[in-house]
Amino acid sequence: MNIINIDHIAKVYQVGSEEVHALRDVSLKIDKNEYVAIMGPSGSGKSTLMNMLGCLDTPTSGIYDFKGVSVSEMTDNELARIRNKEIGFVFQTFNLLARSDAVHNVELPLIYAGVASAERKERAKQVLVDVGLEDRMHHKPNELSGGQRQRVAIARALVSNPAIILADEPTGNLDSKTGEEIMGLFHEIHEKGNTIILVTHEEYIAEHALRIVRLKDGLVEKDENVEKRFLPKVKASIL
């Protein structure tokens, strides 16, 4: 079964007296263990689609089924539960808690899931080891490099074993070498059987994926498999 089944969704925002059609008519199916890049220029609706996929927002019309359950009519609390258990977010700006160390940042989703402290710590540490940060467990974000921060954020996204990893421009704030390392990490995460959705406007980043969905003016312009896949040169971790 598809993890994500989007059928003719639209999203209309009311800006003052004007209606903005961020998404006009988008249909999309994503299977388990896919590696999809969503591309498009700014204003194409890719951010809106990402918010929708991440259950941060609900469509104005159309159907969004997540693992066979309709998201469109969910309450705030039900959406929060889906985000907590099924979706791992990775942001361009990392969005780590500045005053907390790596372990605490990673265990955060588990706190909201109601996992007991000892188990939380153990799982957080294991994921940090997986992303290659075993010697940075108790460093705070300002004591870490950009690449290390993004690894902490990826560990946070992985810790609750979500159905999809949703990464929004994950290399946007990194230099190209570090960006390549992070893409290597995503590659390995995908190899392990995870489903990854990558939102980017960089062609060479998108080509790390197996499938590219191109958006334009709120419509899917092209949905194709990548023929000449870009394989990361850098071995990222021991994952």
Partner 1 sequence: MSPMIFELNEGLAIAWRAIRANKIRAALTMLGIFIGITAVVLMSTAIKGIDNSFKNGISALGSDVLYVDKWSWFSNDEWWKMRNRRNIEMEDYRKFKELAKLPIAVAPVTNSRQTIKYDDKKVEGVFLTGSNADYVKTTNFTFEQGRFYSEIEGNASRNVAVIGSEISAKLFPRGDALDKTIKIGGTNFKIVGVLAEQGSVILGPFNPDNQVFIPIGTIFKNFISRHSQTVTLNVRAPNPNMVEETKAEAEGIMRKIRGLAYDEPNDFSINQQEGLQEQYDSFVGVIQIAGLFITGLSLFVGAIGIMNIMFVSVKERTKEIGLRKAIGAKRRTIMTQFLLESSVICLLGGLIGLIAALLLSLMLNQFFPTAIQYDVVIIAILISLVTGIVSGLAPAYTAAKMDPVDALRYE
Which candidate, 195, 156, 157, 200, places its Cα nearest to that of 179?
200
Cβ-Cβ contacts under 8 Å for 212 (sequence gap 6 or more): 36, 37, 38, 39, 206, 222, 223, 224, 225, 226
For residue 50, the minimal CB distance to partner 1 (Å) is: 10
Stretch that binds partner 1, among 49-57, 124-132, 135-143, 192-200 (CB under 8 A): 49-57
Task: Pick between residue 20 and residue 111 the one whose CB is nearest to partner 1.
Answer: 111
What whole-number distance in Å separates Cα of residue 158 and Cα of residue 231? 22
Tokens encoding 187: 């590659």
Angle at alpha carbon of residue 212, lines to 207 and 215, rounded to 5°: 125
Give how many residues touch partner 1 by CB under 8 A.
27
Contacting residue, 10, 33, 91, 234, with partner 1 by CB under 8 A? 91
Closest CB to partner 1 among residues 139, 211: 139
| Residues 6 or more apart in contact with residue 114 via CB below 8 angstroms | none
Does residue 156 interact with partner 1 by CB under 8 A? yes
Distances (CA, A) of 21 to 57, 99, 114, 218: 15, 39, 38, 7
Q: Is 116 a binder of partner 1 (CB under 8 A)?
A: yes
Q: Least distance in Å: CB of 155 to partner 1?
A: 12
For partner 1, the closer of residues 158 and 212 by Cβ is 158
CA angle 109, 114, 119 (to 5 degrees): 80
Residue where the block lists tokens 């334009």: 216
Please tell me whether residue 111 binds partner 1 under the rule CB under 8 A.
yes
Residue 79 CB, nearest approach to partner 1 (Å): 9
Which residues, 6 or more positions from 191, have their beta carbon under 8 angstroms from its beta carbon?
Answer: none
Q: Kindly calculate the radius of gyration of the chain based on its CA atoms and give it in whole angstroms.
A: 18
- Chosen residue from 2, 51, 72, 173 binding partner 1 by CB under 8 A: 51
Q: Binding of partner 1 at residue 108 (CB under 8 A)?
A: yes
Stretch of residues binding partner 1 (CB under 8 A), selected from 1-9, 89-97, 180-188, 211-219 = 89-97
Question: Mask: binding to partner 1, 14-33, rule CB under 8 A, as x and -?
Answer: --------------------
- Positions touching partner 1 (CB under 8 A) are 51, 54, 56-57, 76-77, 80-81, 83-85, 89, 91, 95, 97, 99-100, 108-109, 111-117, 156
